[in-house]
Every structure is written in structure tokens, then in C-alpha cells.
Copies of this chain bind each other. A is one copy, B any other.
Amino acid sequence: MYRASGVVPEALDHTQDMNNGYLRLIPLGGMGAIGKNMMALEYGEAILVIDAGLMFPDEDMLGIDLVLPDFSYIVENQDRVVGVVLTHGHEDHIGALPYLLNQVLLPVYGTRLTLGILNGKLGEHRLQGAADLNEISEARGLELGPFSLSFLPVCHSIPDGVGLAIRTPVGTVVHSGDFKLDQTPIDQRLTALHRFAELGEEGVLLFLSDSTNAEVPGVIPPELSVGETLDGIFSQAPGRVLVACFASHMHRVQQVIDLSARHGRSVAIVGRSMTRNVNIAENLGYVNIPDGLIIRAQQIGEVPDDCLTVICTGSQGEPMSALARMASRAHQWVQVNEHDTVVISARPVPGNERSVSRTVNRLLARGATVIQGPGAGVHVSGHAAQEELKLLLNLVRPRYFVPIHGEYRHQHNHARLAKETGVAADNIFIMENGQVLEVGPERANIAGKVQAGMILVDGLAMGEAGELVLRDRHHVATDGIIIVVVSLRTQDCGITGIPEVVFRGFAHGGSLEELVQDVQLELVDALHSDELRQIGDVSLLKEHIHEVTQKLLFQKTRRRPMILPIVVEV
């Protein structure tokens, strides 16, 4: 395995043979759908991995907890990997690492906060200490095999994010990371436009840029504007102020802390991931909390309502989150009441609209004042919008462009923006996961495909919840299941007794008992005819039971539940 030392082993002599002096870009996730960002950049035999994120499942992935990119290409080629570089600490960029590192030990590079958050996750997977974590900073570069990396500060909805400038023998690759162009960021850490400009001056071969907001016109308002709105809310709130936001949004948390201090309010941090992240960020110096400002959740009752702020999880309406439980009066320390002002300081991630709405309904029913939604001014996006995306494209002036992150529609729109800024249409590639883009100074083109896709994680198991399992779950979830047990005498292949018939999850207008009897009678009839007793083979018998049962059920109920024939030989 290549190590961080930057020593180039002999293997690299094959470079010319392997890919003729071309770079190879291989997205393993992050194309076509939101989340699970992961890609490989190859030169010669060396592979640089950028990010390894997860995504949360679609509503039709029944029982699935997480979705990972299929990283088997990396596992199979682990000896060629020079390192994994992380752009920032969001789940969709680092969430798959514990699963990857569980299979193969690779050196990981990230900024201080990114590694701090990753380390917390590794702890949950009992991998803490086992991983090879290396801190990077914008102050110095990093040599990994043939790749010479430098790190560009970028502003995002989590601190300490970076973009990447990767110098290679073929030319420079620039990766935007997740970014926005806030000109007055809370931590004064601006997106390094001057460095992007410098790279553009030098010449950039390939640019990869964040497409998440490529459909949003204009620019994203500054994070400070949220603070201004919150200031007004804090001034007027008659009682407690509850602010729900993403657990990693430390700029937002910092603003709420500063405002609370200014308005004489103590702050309670509620919700597991929020508590953990604020702790990590405070320990590493990414959040500044005045002494004595924070109180424990247990002390909430001891503080007068108008002297209290609660920062909590639940901005996506997650049913088990702090805010949802507070709204249902199921929280141990906080029950929402009519004197509370609740600020939902986030936008629903697509697919979460209904669950957020359910939480809002409950909060309003408790009499609380609820402030949320697009017009309320209590949230701004962490991703650059159209005018900002074009600005960065104009600074970087790449020869080739690959829009990354977001759904197909966002990458499609980002491609359009790139064309508008003068990138040649033929030099823009909307890629699919697993596709290999070969890039050289003279040409770039799709040249093959590697294994890629999704790994579904269901509880502890990984990858085993495949197509068939999901299809079975869908079938039962939609139409229910009927189990038919037939006892077969092995001596004479006769049927003994009446078949057992059990329904589960089956909806029927009439009497279920009658239906059970109908199925039993039909099967007794069908299985006692001389012809059928001769079937002998158990799998043929099962097929026959299936057929007879299905026909009768469809005729009687117009439904097709899953039918599971079981033959017991006695």
C-alpha cells in the first residue's frame, strides 16, 4: 500500500502501460442521486479516494437504515490506494468510512474538525484508534504518490471544509468541495477565491464542482442574515426559545449561543448528535461558548422560561428526535407549551416535507409559536447558487468540467451554467457512478466502467438486503402473506389432515375465517384427486399448492398476497 510519505513505489513504472499518461476519474457515488459522495482519481497505478459518504434510504427501501456506495472497486484495489481525502465532515461525505475501514485499512486525510467528527463515528463502530487518521490544513500541501495536493478553505454549513487542488503529471484537477460564497462568514473563514483565481491563471485541466443548488437563481444570503432574524425573535419571545437545526451546523449553533448570551438566556443542548457535535466542536475550538452559559437538560426546570434557549435536533421531523418528542410531550426534560417559540432553522431535505409538517402541526396544536419555512428568514442554504457557481467557473476556467453532487437534474443544470460561462459543450461530462473518464491535455472521454452501485445496510448486516429481500418486503407490505402448510405422508405420498392456513397483513372485506376454510377445502379437493397425489416431487407439489391458492384468492378477493406453501413430510 502507498503510504502518506509520498514515496513512489516501483509499481508506478507501469504508468505508461496502464493508462497512457491519462488521468482516470471514477465516481463511485454521488452521481444521479443526492448523497453517498465518493470518487476515485487514478494516475498510473495510484488511486486517490475523495470522500466516502452515505445516503439515507428512499421511502421505498423498506426496513433499510443506510445506503452506502458500493466500494468493492476500492477494496479490490486496496494496494493501489495512496489515501482517502475528506472535504468536510457531513454524513454524505464521511458516513461510509467506518464500513470501508472495517474492511481495509487505508490512510485517511482530513481537517481537524472533520477528523474529530469522524473519530466519534469510528468510536460507535469500535474502530477508534484502529484507523490511520492524518490531519491536513490549508497551510501546507500533501504528496500522495503522483498527486500533489493543496487544500482550499471553503465556506459551507459545517466548519473546516476544504476544496482540493490536485496537481498531477497531466495537469491540475480542482475539486470545489461543498461550498458557498458567503462574504461575511461567522468564523471569518472565506472561501479562498483568490486561490481558485490563481489556479485558473495557472490553468486547470479538470474542474469538479458542487451542483446541489444549480437550479437556484441568484446568490445565497449570508449566514449573518439568519442571526439578524433570530435577534428579532429573541427580543420578542415571551418565554423559551427552541431552535432546531442540523447537528453539525456549528455556525448556526454559534449564532444561537451568541444571541442567547446577549439576551441573557442560558442554553441547553438537547439531542444525542447535537450534544456530541457541540462537544467535539468546542473541544477543538470551532465553537466558543461563554463560561456558565450552558446548562444541562436536567436543569431546564430551574431556569425561568424567558431566560432559556434550547438548541435541539429534529429539524427534519425525525420521529425519535428531540423536537418531535418535545412536541408530543414525550420528552423527559422539555414539553412544548403555549409560551414557547420554536424556530425550525433548516429546510426539509427532499422526502422529509411530510414529517416536518407533522411536527409543525403538533407544535401549533400545543399552542407554541412556530417560525419556519422559506419566507421566515431563519435558514440559508450551505451550497452556492447559480450566480456563484458561474463565478467560480469563471475563476477556474477549466478545460474539462464534471458537475458533482445532487440529483441528475442539478448536474444537468450545472452543465448548462458551465456552457454559459464558455466551457465547450463537448468538454462537459455528466457522469454515472462507475463510469471511467479518461482525461488528458488533448482529449477526455468515457473509457469503461467499474463495479459501482449501492450497498444497503439493514441494522448490523451490510449488503445482504438485496433486490430479492426488498421485493419480498414490498410484496408483503402491499398485499400481506398467506402461509399454507400441508402434511405429506412419505409412505404413500398422501395428504394427512386439513392444511394449516395462516394470514398476516392481509386485508379482506369479508370474514377471514370463511376464507381460511375456503382455501382449506379447495386444497383438500385439489390434493386428494388421484392425479395430483402422484406428483411425488415436493417442489412440484408446492408449486401446485401455490397455484390453487392463488387462483382461489384472486377469485374471491381480487388480491395477490405472497403465498408461501410449506410441505411437512411426516
Contact = CB atoms under 8 A, between A and B. Distances in A.
Interface string A178-222: 000000000000000000000000000000000000010100000
A478 interface: yes
A236 to B, nearest CB: 16
Interface string A553-565: 0000111001010
Given A59-B354, A505-B473, A496 B570 contact: yes
A285 interface: no
- Residue from A59, A63, A350, A562 having most chain B Cβ neighbours under 10 A: A63
Contacts of A351: 353-354
A500 B466 CA distance: 24
A473 B353 CA distance: 24
A370 to B, nearest CB: 8
Nearest to A60: B59
Contacts of A279: none
A62 B477 contact: yes
A295 B400 CA distance: 46
Interface stretch (A22-30, A123-131, A254-262, A481-489): A481-489
A351 B352 CA distance: 8
Interface string A397-410: 00000000001110
A364 interface: yes
Contacts of A469: 480, 505-507
Interface string A488-526: 000000001100101011111110000000000000000
B460 A558 contact: yes
Contacts of A507: 63, 456, 458-459, 461, 464-465, 469
A238 to B, nearest CB: 16
A234 to B, nearest CB: 22
A496 B488 CA distance: 13
Contacts of A570: 487, 496-497, 568, 570
B63 A483 contact: no
Nearest to A58: B354
A409 B497 contact: no
A78 B461 CA distance: 56
B357 A350 contact: yes
A244 B194 CA distance: 46
Interface in A336-362: 350-351, 353-354, 357, 360-361
Instruction: Provide the main secondary structure of the chain A interface.
Output: mixed
- Residue from A360, A375, A502, A509 having most chain B Cβ neighbours under 10 A: A509
A375 B505 contact: no
A479 interface: yes
A472 interface: yes
A96 B407 CA distance: 38
Contact of A505 (B409, B472, B497): B472
Contacts of A566: 483, 485, 500, 502, 566
Contacts of A407: 357, 361
Nearest to A457: B507
Given A497-B570, A502-B566, A566-B566, 14 more contacts: A59-B354, A63-B477, A357-B407, A361-B407, A361-B409, A365-B412, A461-B510, A461-B557, A469-B507, A473-B505, A483-B564, A487-B487, A487-B568, A496-B570
Interface of A: 32, 58-59, 62-63, 215, 217, 350-351, 353-354, 357, 360-361, 364-365, 370, 373, 375, 407-409, 412, 456, 458-465, 469-470, 472-474, 476-481, 483, 485, 487, 496-497, 500, 502, 504-510, 557-559, 562, 564, 566, 568-570
24 contacts: A62-B477, A63-B505, A63-B507, A351-B354, A360-B409, A361-B407, A364-B408, A365-B408, A459-B507, A459-B558, A460-B557, A465-B507, A473-B476, A473-B477, A473-B480, A473-B505, A476-B481, A476-B504, A483-B483, A485-B566, A497-B568, A500-B568, A502-B566, A570-B570
